[in-house]
Amino acid sequence: MALPVRDQLKYWSLAAIIFFVALWYLGDIMLPFILGGAIAYFLDPVADRLENMGFSRTTATVIITLVCLLTFVIAILAVVPTLINQAVALVEVMPELFSDLRNFVAAKLPSLSQPNSVIHKSLASLGAMVQERGGELLSGVLNSALSVINIVMLLVIVPVVAFYLLLDWDNMVAEIDRLLPRDHAPVIRLLAHDINLTLASFVRGMGTVCLILGTYYAVALMVVGLQFGLVVGFIAGLVTFIPYLGALIGGALAIGLALFQFWGDWVSIGLVGGIFAIGQVIEGNVLTPKLVGNSVGLHPVWLLLALSIFGALFGFVGMLVAVPVAAALGVLARFFTGQYMTSRLYLGLSADQQDKD
């Protein structure tokens, strides 16, 4: 005899409360395990493909781990120091850029550049704030990141967790399936399948799109000679998962820097603008349709809301779980909407008429 619905809701609600309480109090401890699980989830299709090519699961996991570690070491040695140096230099040069902007406004729009004007005061205060707070903010972010993701977690715990989870991924999925309540197993499998499709399309797809576009923007901007091309490309690629925002923020920053660096050289400025125009064409017509698909099920506003709420409540760990939770809630909302549309609560008297017919 199955448990009454009220009792089932009581137990599952208790399980959800325990999960969020654990996330609240054990966030920093759970961080390397969440990161390792995310990496394993991201790389599981690669392992499956290597298995289809004839490799054992262990061999496939070892190959993936070695390639990832090699890529990580190369990035640490070649890219990260340059990225940090450019970010620090950009923060230091910002006051000069605002000063040049103020001089430009004074030359072109003298009525707005009076010492008592709002624009003059705003640009002066903004430049001073960036100079004073920018370096503190950058060092604070780096220091807090190092305090949360310390060297031991980054170099030992996360790779080890990712390795073992990737190695046993299929066994874990089968074991979880075996533990599902029998009465609800078919529905749970259906919902889990839809959630997995949404996550796979968004996380894996958009992660790949962000990486490709970020690399493209960084390399292309450095080729045309933009001074802070690597930082701009990194920022543009990082926020590409929000439609149009990556190109808008990165393009505005790049063109603004190009105007100060290449003023009078309209060819170089046009090249910078063309880089982002081409990036948008490639993203909209090639990358997103091929890697993400046209129907992911995660609206950008819903995603931003989830990131904001979970980030405010649970910090960095909350932001990591925001996307899968948002995907799960979206799938559940569509499922319950479908159930409602076929229920007597929605159909009303028409349902009784259909039963009679």
Q: Averaging pLDDT over each range in 62-66, 251-255, 310-314, which range is the top one?
A: 62-66
Nearest-angstrom CA–CA distance, 89 and 139: 13
Phi, psi of 233 (to 5 degrees): -60, -40
Question: How buried is residue 313: exposed, middle or buried, by Cβ count under 10 Å (0-12/13-18/19+)?
Answer: middle
Taking residues 287-305, report their average pLDDT: 69
pLDDT tens column, 328-347: 888 888 888 888 888 777 77
- Of all residues in the chain, the percent with pLDDT exceeding 70 is 69
CA dihedral defined by 105, 106, 110, 112, rounded to 10 degrees?
A: 50
Closest CA to 233 of 245, 248, 221: 221
Does pTM surpass 0.75? no
Top-confidence residue, 101 or 46 = 46
DSSP state of 4: P
CA-based nearest residue to 199, from 279, 286, 285, 303: 303
Joined together, the tokens standing for residue 104 give 């430009």
Give the Cβ contact number of residue 79 at 10 Å. Answer: 14
- pLDDT score of 185 more than 50: yes
How many alpha carbons lie under 13 Å from residue 263 in its C-beta half-sphere? 9
